[in-house]
Amino acid sequence: MQGDIYSYGILVLETFTGRKPTDSNFTRGLSLRVFVELGLNGGELDVVDTQLSLGLENELPNANKFSGKTKMDCLIPLLRHGVSCSHKMPSNRMSTGNIIKELRCIRESLMREYKTC
């Protein structure tokens, strides 16, 4: 089960970065997880797929009401979520119960932001 959680975490990171774990840029100890973790810790969000924000604007009817800051505020917890699920050590990965709780919190936060726009 811990292997499934790892795979899920990597899938989350792939989804929001637009990069694969086998990307040719990931060498010398740099991995998709480390790439995202460094981006989050450094305050730089260059890790987010630039096409993602364009896609959101086209798919959600009121997405244009979201500011760039609001979108990033929603993506940061999802990236952290993916990092938490993809720790090298299985004992450090989130449990399935905590994954569900966290996703619900992220969804509720997003819905609050969406309703205030």
Q: What is the CATH number of the domain that holds 59?
A: 1.10.510.10
Residue by residue, DSSP assigns 25-84 as T--TT--HHHHHHHHHHTT--TTS-HHHHHHHHHHSTTGGGS-HHHHHHHHHHHHHHHHH
Q: Work out how many domains the chain is built from and give that number.
A: 1
d(CA 98, CA 56) in angstroms, rounded, equals 27
- Tell me the pTM: 0.79
Q: Which domain holds residue 61?
A: 2-116
pLDDT of 83-114, one tens digit each? 999 999 999 999 999 999 999 998 888 777 66
pLDDT of 29-73, one tens digit each? 899 999 999 888 875 567 888 776 554 444 445 555 555 566 677
Dihedrals phi, psi of 87, to nearest 5 degrees: -60, 150
